[in-house]
Chains A and B, each alone.
Chain A
Amino acid sequence: MTPRSLYAIAPHLSRAECEAITKKVLGFSTADECRVTVNSGMRQNTRFAVNQISTAGDDYNASVNIRSVFGKKVASVSVNRLDDASLKAAVENSERIARLAPDDPELMPELPPQRYAEPIVWSDATASLEPEARAEAVRAVTEASRKAGLVSTGYLEAQAGSGAVANNRGLFAYSRSTATAYTTTVRTPDGTGSGWAGASDNDFRRINPAVLAERAIEKAKRSANPVAIEPGRYTVVLEPTAVANLVQLIVGSLNARNADEGRSFFSKAGGGNKIGEKVVDERVTLISDPLDPRVPANTFGGDGMPNTRVTWIENGVVRNLAYDRFWAQKSGKEPSFAGGTLRMEGGASSVEEMIASTERGILVTRFWYIRGVDPRTILFTGLTRDGTFLIENGKVTRPVKNLRYNESPIFMLNNLQMMGRPERVSASESGGPGQAIMVPAIKARDFNFTSTSDAI
């Protein structure tokens, strides 16, 4: 038996199957309102370390979430046994718990049927990435690393599945989606150098393992035997992955309610929020657009809301914050959310031009272990990793030891000097597909490094 014969396309529930399940659940429901969400699919992955495959995994799951409402009382239950008896028991359980819940004064009624754009998030190539094809993609990195006398570690994941949401007001939405990420860290055998490369996409055909191998190998070699430099404020040239590591943190602070309540960077002194205020350099524009062909996302959210294009920051000015339906109604706004995609507009400079224009600075491949320090300023700490270099007189001169920063993407985008063309990157900490994100490389001044690290 070969892996290929086991599944040509990763199994997931079809539109017809989701319709049947949601219809059945809604039929069991005795609640005033009921919403059913169905998610199913495969996660297929292969890991490698020390130039060989260490573990791999193929797992299939299908789950149903049932949200029942009586008056203003609500509760939800999810199960992954889809037989009639299990679904019926889950409906009853959600109704039993909902009846015991206190009234929720902020409860919003279920949405009526909506119109959705056709999503562009499915790829057969990603959905059929079986173990042998993954092993082949792994060998493109391990063999090149072995030939270069280096040690490679990495991870390739491909997700393929479907999602559906339905309610007793007749709303129904269904879509299939795929996502994949391939990341590798190549180290010198003596442990003095480490280089990273990664890519994330919906379509595996746009990821080239040989190119990733080449980039990580080159960085591993160039980063060997780094020297320590004094921490302090430096001009930085950040590759797109490093930019995404920081810019995506802004998304987590976009909640309008937190801003209005005075507990966010986007709170305005004296009350209200910063919509309409300039908060970063005027060249900065941040957009979530599910129909962006390079960073697409599903076209509906968990409650059946259409996921549409939202401009968060335009030419440095805050245009929108994220409003849930309740807060939108209360504030007289349209609901909006950052639906799993983000694009930062760029400029025309190349990384080479940014380096050439820098007298003294630091070139950063990526950041890691990024954790919040102060939500008042979206201040985070973290470290550079897997390719950090000193720029002197317009040239990359030598590798430097990694540095810890305490910095905010807001300050960074105020100190912006140059921008490149946006690229889609893999910016999740764990190397999974994460949210789709596309950003340019940037050059910024006065980036705040607070200590050095001996880690390689």
Chain B
Amino acid sequence: MTASRREFLQRTAAAAAAVGLASAARPTAAEAAPGLTFQGDDSHKALALRAIDAAKTAGADYADARISSARSQNLGTRERRVTNIGDNETFGFGVRVLVGGAWGFAASSNLTADEVVRVARLAVAQAKANRAAMVRPVELAPIGPPVPNGVWRSPARIDPFTVAIEDKVAYLLEANAAAMAAGARFVNSNMFFLKDEKTFASTVGTVTQQTIFRAQPGMTITMVSPDNRDFQTRQSTDIQPRGLGYEHVLDSNLKAHAARWAEEARQKLSAKPVEVGRYDLILHPTHLWLTIHEAIAHPTELDRAYGFEANYAGTSFLAPPEEKLGKFRYGPDFMNVLADRSAPGSLSACGWDDEGVAPEDFYIVKDGMFVDYQTTREQAMWLDWWYKQQKMPTRSHGCSYAQTWADVQFQRMPNVNLMAGEQDLVWEDLIAATENGIAIIGDGSFSIDQQRYNAQFGGQLFYEVKNGKITGMLKDVAYQIRTPEFWNAMDMVGGKRSYELGGAFGDGKGQPAQSNAVSHGCPPTRHKQVNVINTGRTA
């Protein structure tokens, strides 16, 4: 999926032409600008500072304000037809305050000098009401020196909002045509883009401005059997979302893959139903990222371990922390899980989190042992004893995030990655080393319990592996795991060359539920003797 330099130059030239077209149709200076850097009004800084001042005056011990101007765009098609073109702009601010150890949060879409004061006071009044039911006051972990003028942006090369609509439509319809030429009965394709300009200020003295881009092209191809008794789909999971601009769409080149995906959907119609049993599973990075998300990233969220998410997302089998940190073996010695918000083009990348902390990379699993949780400033204090024991400073890992200006920030996962092994192994090497197994490509159905023990995963493509070779396609495959056994049954891992980033926009947690966007990098892996079920039934 990585473009060569020549391809890159061709694409940027094409995009530049597209910008020209868009500007001609829309000749205002602001819209004609490439838009890759922060375009937000500098008055946002002043209003954010005014909000936190109002909160302090009303009695807040700590306050932060976030102002966001987010633009998103959705395009949808089916076969030869555009089903949806939608542009969405949302603009507003949220103020979070701490009063006597209790949180308050209020938000409004009406960004005026008066409204920021009213909303700041509402947040303080609410914190005072919340204090009535307080048992343990909130304490915030120390933070580094204030950053008075922080600026960060996603490494996007082409602002998607400067690319002409007709180019985007043509891109999708051409991909659909390629799938239909290969025999697809139904094709849906789409693009989604986000550009979020966020201004943050806190009473610590930090003021940051960040421009976040996200892009996802995708398609789903459906084949129906001639007698209408069966249908099968192939989703474009080879293409994963990124924290990038329109160049990610160009690099993804759906059209080039569409015929193969259509053929794979057709093969699924006549694939052999899987026989239930235990198999060695070889999991492709386009599949494995979701298993990592559910069975490593979620259970290592510290708020879950302390019961804060018990009413929805759940708690964690990694609790209490005193009995798990440094003591729980997650997997074999070669298993290392590193969290980051720095990988270029990843969905969680940022300069500062939503409470002004500059995130650092940190190990969650080191040499197979569980060593750390994901934290915010509030939560890092809960592990003060562990960090002291480890001779590490007690500081947030920078995992605070809110999905929009209207939502309160709380602990959300960074990119959580399974690191590549030392041996230079790739997907084909894992297959060649397997006697009786199933190779799974692409993410499919997924479900896991509220403590992250029992999970079930499907996929896009399932291949029977016998004596080191792929011998045919299977269907109706799902595997069921118990998390600790599954990772300890991992006996092979790919090398650096086979490491890929997967990810999703829809990581749900919290009440009201918020979506986080996150990437997970990993190589392919092999897991011994995993329980496989057959999900096919007859209606």
Contacts and interface: CB of A to CB of B under 8 A. Distances in A.
B513 A271 contact: no
B306 A183 contact: no
A406 B83 CA distance: 33
B107 A58 contact: yes
Given A263-B186, A376-B539, A430 B508 contact: yes
A400 interface: no
A142 B87 CA distance: 44
Contacts of B132: 132, 135, 139
Contacts of A410: 539
B166 interface: yes
A50 interface: yes
Nearest to B124: A1
> Which residue, B121, B134, B451, has most C-beta atoms of chain A within 10 A?
B451
A455 B314 contact: yes
B496 to A, nearest CB: 33
B515 to A, nearest CB: 11
B383 interface: no
Contact of B104 (A56, A269, A368): A56
Interface in B93-144: 94, 102-110, 118, 121-122, 125-126, 129-130, 132-136
Nearest to A138: B133
A51 B311 CA distance: 12
A97 B317 CA distance: 50
B311 A154 contact: yes
Contacts of A151: 307, 310
Contact of A187 (B310, B456, B535, B536): B310
A408 B538 CA distance: 11
Interface string A247-276: 000000000000001110101111100000
A101 B85 contact: yes
Interface string B59-102: 00000000000000000000001110111111110100000001
B311 A183 contact: yes
A54 interface: yes
Interface residues on A, range: 35 or more
A372 to B, nearest CB: 6
B166 A100 contact: yes
B453 interface: yes
B310 A101 contact: no
Nearest to B107: A59
A173 to B, nearest CB: 21
Given A50-B135, A369-B450, A101 B109 contact: no
B216 to A, nearest CB: 19
B422 interface: no
B135 A52 contact: yes
Contacts of B512: 43, 45, 57, 155, 157, 430, 432
Contacts of B538: 377
Contact of B453 (A79, A187, A408, A453): A453
Given A101-B85, A131-B125, A404-B454, A49 B90 contact: no
A155 B82 contact: no
Contacts of B535: 373-374, 379, 381, 406
B39 interface: no
Nearest to A100: B165
Given A60-B109, A106-B81, A154-B311, A371 B446 contact: yes
Contacts of A2: 125
Contact of A454 (B83, B129, B482): B482
Contacts of A265: 539
A81 B71 CA distance: 12
Given A54-B308, A131-B125, A262-B224, A77 B231 contact: no
A385 interface: yes
> Which residue, A105, A153, A154, has most C-beta atoms of chain B within 10 A?
A153
B449 A383 contact: yes
B81 A381 contact: no
A290 B58 CA distance: 44
Contact of B81 (A105, A411, A456): A105
Interface string A354-388: 00000000000000111111111101011101000
A431 interface: yes
B108 A59 contact: yes
A59 B94 contact: yes
A373 B458 contact: yes
A184 interface: yes
Given A3-B125, A191-B315, A383-B447, A76 B533 contact: no
B133 A451 contact: no
Interface in A416-456: 429-432, 450-456
B340 interface: no
B230 interface: yes
Interface in A42-96: 43, 45-63, 74-81, 90, 93-94, 96
A170 interface: no
B451 A455 contact: yes
A271 B319 CA distance: 53
Contacts of A372: 445
A80 B537 contact: no
Interface stretch (B402-410, B464-472, B518-526): B402-410
A432 B511 contact: yes
Contact of B134 (A53, A369, A406): A53
Which 4 pairs across A and B sit closest by C-beta, in order of nearness?
Answer: A453-B454, A455-B451, A430-B513, A455-B449
5 contacts: A47-B511, A77-B88, A78-B88, A191-B315, A455-B449
